Amino acid sequence: MDDVWDLVVVGAGPAGSAAALRARQLDPGCRVLLLDRAAFPRDKACGDGIAAHARQELALLGLPGLLDDHRPTPRLSVTSPGGARVSAVVARPNHVVPRRVFDARLVEAARARGVEVRRHRVRTLTALGEHVVIDGHLVARAVVAADGANSAVRRLIGVPPSPDRHTAIAVRGYADVPPDDDEQVIVMQSEAWPAYAWSFPVGDGTANVGYGLLLPMLRQTGRPGREILHGRLARLLPLLGEVRSPVRDLRAHHLPLSSGRPVPGAGRVLLAGDAASLVNPLTGEGIYYALLSGRLAAEAAIGSPGDPLRAYRRGLRRALGRHLRTTDALALAARSPGFIDAAIAVAARRTEVFDLLVDVGLGAGTVPPRLAAAVALRWLKNFT
Ligand X SMILES: Cc1cc2nc3c(=O)[nH]c(=O)nc-3n(C[C@H](O)[C@H](O)[C@H](O)COP(=O)(O)OP(=O)(O)OC[C@H]3O[C@@H](n4cnc5c(N)ncnc54)[C@H](O)[C@@H]3O)c2cc1C
Contact flag: residue 282 with ligand X (CB under 6 A): no
Q: Smaller CB distance to ligand X: residue 37 or 100?
A: 37
173 is a site residue for ligand X (CB under 6 A): no
Of 63-122, which residues contact ligand X (CB under 6 A)?
121-122
What is the smallest separation between the CB atom of 370 and ligand X, expressed in angstroms? 29
Pick 119 or 223: Cβ nearer ligand X: 119
Least Å from the CB of residue 354 to ligand X: 19
Question: Phi then psi for 114, rounded to 5 degrees?
Answer: 100, 10
Q: Which of 97, 243, 255, 367 binds ligand X (CB under 6 A)?
A: 255
> Which residue from 183, 208, 214 is spatially nearest to 196, judged by alpha carbons?
214
CB of 76 or CB of 309, closer to ligand X: 76
C-alpha 71/C-alpha 252 separation (Å) is 26
SS3 at position 284 = coil
Least distance from C-beta 28 to ligand X, angstroms?
23
Contact 173, 209 (CB under 8 A): yes
Three-state DSSP at 225 gives helix
The C-alpha atoms of residue 269 and residue 172 are separated, in whole angstroms, by 31
Any contact of residue 195 with ligand X (CB under 6 A)?
no
- Using the rule CB under 6 A, is 297 a contact of ligand X? no
353: β partners:
none
Q: Give the nearer residue to ligand X in terms of CB position, either 228 or 342.
A: 228
- DSSP per residue over 291-331, as a string? HHHHHHHHHHHHH-TTSHHHHHHHHHHHHHHHHHHHHHHHH
CB 215, CB 168: distance < 8 Å? yes
Query: Which lies closer to ligand X via its Cβ, residue 80 or residue 199?
Result: 199
Which lies closer to ligand X via its Cβ, residue 265 or residue 273? 273
| 281 touches ligand X by CB under 6 A | no
Q: Which stretch binds ligand X (CB under 6 A): 11-19, 134-142, 299-307, 333-341?
A: 11-19
**The only residue of 98, 148, 173, 264 in contact with ligand X, by rule CB under 6 A:** 148
Site for ligand X contains 12 (CB under 6 A): yes
Looking at beta carbons, which residue is closest to ligand X? 286
Size of the site for ligand X (CB under 6 A): 38
Q: By CB under 6 A, tell whether 253 contacts ligand X.
A: yes
Amino acid at 237: L
Binding window for ligand X (CB under 6 A); candidates: 231-239, 241-249, 267-275, 364-372: 267-275
* Torsion 305-28-57-146 (CA) sign: negative
Interface positions, 127-146, toward ligand X (CB under 6 A): 146
Residue from 19, 23, 81, 147 that binds ligand X (CB under 6 A)? 147
Q: Shortest Cβ distance from residue 178 to ligand X (Å)?
A: 20
Mark 31-70 with x for binding to ligand X (rule: CB under 6 A) and - for no binding. ----xxxx-----xxxxxx---------------------
Q: Is 273 in the site for ligand X (CB under 6 A)?
A: yes
Cβ(170)–Cβ(210) below 8 Å:
yes
Looking at residue 209, its amino acid is V
> Binding to ligand X by residue 15, rule CB under 6 A?
yes
Pairing assessment for the beta strands 206-214 and 195-201 based on DSSP bridges: antiparallel
Binding to ligand X (CB under 6 A): which residues in 320-349? none
Q: Are 157 and 22 in contact (CB under 8 A)?
A: no
- C-alpha distances in Å from residue 19, one per residue of 13, 69, 146, 230, 334: 10, 24, 9, 35, 33
Q: Which residues pair with 313 in a beta bridge?
A: none
152 belongs to the binding site for ligand X (CB under 6 A): yes
Residues 6 or more apart in contact with residue 192 via CB below 8 angstroms: 213, 214, 217, 218, 220, 221
Q: Quick one: which of 269, 267, 230 has its CA closest to 249?
A: 230
CB nearer to ligand X: pick between 82 and 93: 93
**Cβ 283 vs Cβ 364: under 8 Å:** no
Please tell me whether residue 359 binds ligand X under the rule CB under 6 A.
Answer: no
Which residues contribute to the site for ligand X (CB under 6 A)? Answer: 10-16, 35-38, 44-49, 121-122, 146-148, 152, 170, 172, 210, 253, 255, 273-275, 279, 284-288, 290
